[in-house]
Amino acid sequence: MPRTFSIAIGSDHAGFKYKELLKAALLADGHTMRDMGTDSEAPCDYPDFIRPVALAVARGEYERGIVLGGSGNGEAIVANRVKGVRCGVCWTEQVAIWNRAHNDANCISIGQRTITPEEAVKIVKTWLATDFEGGRHLARIQKIDGV
């Protein structure tokens, strides 16, 4: 049986539909979720919902974080401002594999305007199923984290 994770998830209005889609898919797979908002497609400011996800992951309250917006770029920037968070924008399953295997990312950012709903689910499930390779990548992670 695949490993399950505790996941914090958040989006702005432009990522709301995919947030809801991902929540349903991941809960069905046995993951536990905390939705940090937003709760509609009404315009809002993404840092209000993304920073709480990143802080919860950095504090160890959740093993993984998923952040969503229109492109995913602003969301990744906000998440990466929190010490201890490594978040990358992923738009293919291969990019998601590298995000985990090479960067030990504990957060993923998805752009709802850039991929299909089916791709979003596949990308996140692939990301969750991928382990960090360690090895030569570990020294790079330590440099990123300032260790």
Q: Where are the domains of the chain?
A: 6-144
133 is catalytic: no
Tokens of 102: 């090479």
Q: Are 72 and 120 in contact (CB under 8 A)?
A: no
- Tens of pLDDT, residue by residue over 71-87, are 999 999 999 999 999 99
Mean pLDDT, range 46-72, rounded to an integer: 98
DSSP-assigned letter for residue 131: P
The reported pLDDT for the residue numbered 139 is 94
Distance CA 29, CA 108 (A): 18
* Of 35, 26, 28, the residue nearest 5 (C-alpha): 26
The reported pLDDT for the residue numbered 1 is 63
Query: pLDDT at residue 2 above 90?
Result: no
The catalytic position among 102, 119, 133, 137 is 102
- Tens of pLDDT, residue by residue over 93-141, are 999 999 999 999 999 999 999 999 999 999 999 999 999 999 999 999 9
Distance CA 26, CA 103 (A): 22
- Single pTM value for the model: 0.97
102 is catalytic: yes
Superfamily for domain range 6-144:
Sugar-phosphate isomerase, RpiB/LacA/LacB (3.40.1400.10)
Q: Are 88 and 77 in contact (CB under 8 A)?
A: no
